Structure 1
Amino acid sequence: MARGRGPFAGGPEQARRQLVVAAEECFLDFGVRRTTMDDVARRAGVSRPTVYRYFSDRDALVVEVVTRRARIFGVRAREYISGRPDFTSKIVDGLGYLVRGGRRDPILSALLQPDNLSATSGILTAGKVAERLSFEVWEPILIAAQEAGEMRPEIDPQELCGVMADLELMMIGRQDLLDPDGPGVRELVGDFLLPSLAA
C-alpha cells in the first residue's frame, strides 16, 4: 500500500498498529469472544476486507496484541531478572515481576480475566505463542544457569518456558484462585516450581 493513500497513511506497519489499537479497544469493551472482525473494522474506520488484508482472523489479532505488549515489557523484565543475584532470585523474583507486570497492563489483564481466559489462553497455547514469548525472556538466563550448574542439565529450557508461560497466564488471569490469606506468587513459585529445577 502506498504511503499517504487509502485509510492508512503510514504504510503497512502503521496499518497493523492502528488495527491492533482498534482490536485492543474492542477486546476491552466486548471481550475476546464477542469481538468480531466487523467490530474491529468499525473501530478503525475501515472496511472488513481491509482488516482481513492484514490479519487472517480474530485469533491473529489476539496474538499480535499480546505479542506486541509482551515484547515491550519483556525487555524490562529480562534486565530485571538478569540483575538478580542468584538462580533462586531470578526464578522467584522474575516470575513475580512478570505476573505483576501482566496484572498492571490493562490490555493483558483484561484479556486474561476469567471471562476471556479460556479463549485467550487457548489461542496463545495452541500456537505456542506464550511459550515462545516466555522463551525470548528466559532463554539466556536458563542456559546460563545450566552452564553454571545451578539448574538441572536434563531440563529442556524451551519446555520449561511452556510451563512457566502457563503459570503466568493462570496467575495473571485467575487471581480468584489464590487465597488472599495464603501464599502469594513468590511463595508458590519458590515452594513448588523452584525445587524441581535446582541442581
Structure 2
Amino acid sequence: MSTQREQILEAARQCFERWGPERTRMDDIAKAVGIARPNLYRYFPSKMSVLVEVIGNEMRVINAARRSRLPIEGDTRTLISRSISLGIELALEDSELLSVMRADSLDLTAEALVTHTSLMEIQAEYWSPIFEHGRSRGEIRADLTDDTEIIRWIQIVQFMCVERREFFPDIAAITRHFDRFVVPAIVVPD
C-alpha cells in the first residue's frame, strides 16, 4: 500500500498532466488525493516543493535507465554524447516529465531546475562518476573542475531540446548537435 506522500505525488502528477503545473492549485491536488488542503501542507510546504519532487522522481527514473544501458567505460566523448542523447530520448518518452514541460508551465519548471539544489544533486549522482572516469583518462578539460557547471550546461541544452523539439527533428539530429557543439566544450580536443 502506498504512503500518503506517494498518493499526493501521484495526484500531483495527474493534475500536472491535466492542467500543467502552472494552473494546478494545491486545492486540486488535495481534492485528487481526497484530503483537506491543510493536510497537504503537512507533506509539502508549497506547489513548488511538489513539482520539485515530481521532477526529481522522473530524473531518477531516466538516470537509472541510462545507467543500465550505458556502463561507465571507454571513450568519455562517446559516453557523454550517448548519455545526453539517451536522456533526451527518455525524457521525450516520459509523459509525466513532458507534463511539466508544457509551454504554459516552462517558467515554473525552469525555476525549479535552477533554484532547487536537490535536482542538481540528482543529476550529479549520474554525471559525476562519468566526469571522474573522464578525468582519470585525461579526457575532461582541465579547467572544468566544477561538475555543477558542466551539469548546468548539459541541463540547459537538454531542456532546450525537450522544450523546443522543432529545432531538432529527431534524436539523430540532437546527437549530431551535441557531438559537434556541446561535447567538445567539455572534453579535451582529439
After TM superposition, the score normalised by the length of structure 1 is: 0.86
| Partner secondary structure for residue 54 of structure 1 | coil
Q: Percent identity?
A: 26
> Contact between 1:78 and 1:138, CA under 8 Å: does it hold in 2?
no
1:26 corresponds in structure 2 to 15
Are positions 1:170 and 2:157 aligned together?
Answer: no
Partner of 2:179: 190
Could you tell me whether the CA contact under 8 Å between 1:131 and 1:165 is conserved in 2?
Answer: no
Among 151, 159, 180, the residue aligned to 2:140: 151
- Aligned pairs, number: 187
| 1:4 corresponds to | none
For residues 30 and 180 of structure 1, the distance between their equivalents in structure 2, rounded to whole angstroms, comes to 26
How far, CA to CA, are the matches of 1:152 and 1:103 in structure 2?
A: 30
User: Mind listing any 5+ residue stretches in structure 1 that lack a counterpart?
Assistant: 1-9
Residue range with higher mean Cα deviation, 49-58 or 75-84: 75-84
Which of residues 133, 136, 140 is equivalent to 2:129? 140
CA RMSD of aligned residues (A): 2.0
Contact 2:161 2:168 in 1 (8 A): no
* Map of 2:28 onto structure 1: 39
Are the equivalent residues in 2 in contact too, given 1:82–1:141 (CA < 8 A)? no
Provide the residue aligned with 2:53 in structure 1. 64
Secondary structure of the structure 2 residue equivalent to 1:21 = helix
Name the TM-score, length of structure 2 as normaliser: 0.90
Of the two, which has the highest radius of gyration?
Answer: 1
Q: Deviations over 1:28-74 (max 9, x none)?
A: 11111110100000000000011100000000000011111211221
More RCO (CA 8 Å, sep 6+):
2
